Structure 1
Amino acid sequence: MVELGRFDRNLAHIIVGRLDSEGIDAVAFDGETSIGDGSYLLIPVRVMVDEDDLAAAQAIVTA
């Protein structure tokens, strides 16, 4: 898997859903980091995709 980008927590999950609707498997990493101390909204979430899907995923995100 390769990193598509880093986004705020909510946007990362929206992007994962959008990519999934286009048939691209994606995973949000770090979404639960530091949830215990309340700083989870400040930590960017990495959206990861298969290397073969990176170009298509980038096109969807920039559109």
Structure 2
Amino acid sequence: MDLVEVDRVFDSVGAEIVRGYLASAGIEAVLFDAGLASLLGGVSGVRVMVAPDDEAAARALLAEIAPP
């Protein structure tokens, strides 16, 4: 399955919060690079990934809490 990045968060806890926020709206999100981010002290960031069909809805939800 293809996934698209909708956010990049520079701490694992923040990434889990974003994932949970999306899940509460019915959007399944997967976190990429969480282990790498913890090893590098958050420098690389944790990528929040969703299915392409959910991208627009996920971006709209995230814009409500953190406008671009």
- Runs (4+) off by over 6 Å: none
TM-score by length of 1: 0.84
Q: In 2, are the aligned partners of 1:3 and 1:48 still within 8 Å (CA)? A: yes
Count of matched residue positions in the alignment of Structure 1 and Structure 2: 61
Kindly state the Cα deviation for residue 31 of structure 1 after the two structures are TM-superposed: 0.3
Give unmatched runs, 5+ long, in structure 2. Answer: none
Question: Aligned equivalents of 2:41 and 2:55: distance in 1?
Answer: 26
Partner of 2:5: 3
Would you tell me which structure has more helix in proportion to its own residues? 2
Bigger relative CO (Cα 8 Å, ≥ 6 apart)? 1
Partner residue of 1:31 out of 27, 31, 34:
34
Gaps of 5+ in 1: none
Query: C-alpha distance in 1, partners of 2:26/2:41?
Result: 28
Identity percentage of aligned residues: 41
Query: TM-score, normalising length from structure 2?
Result: 0.78
Question: What is the CA RMSD across the aligned residues, in angstroms?
Answer: 1.5
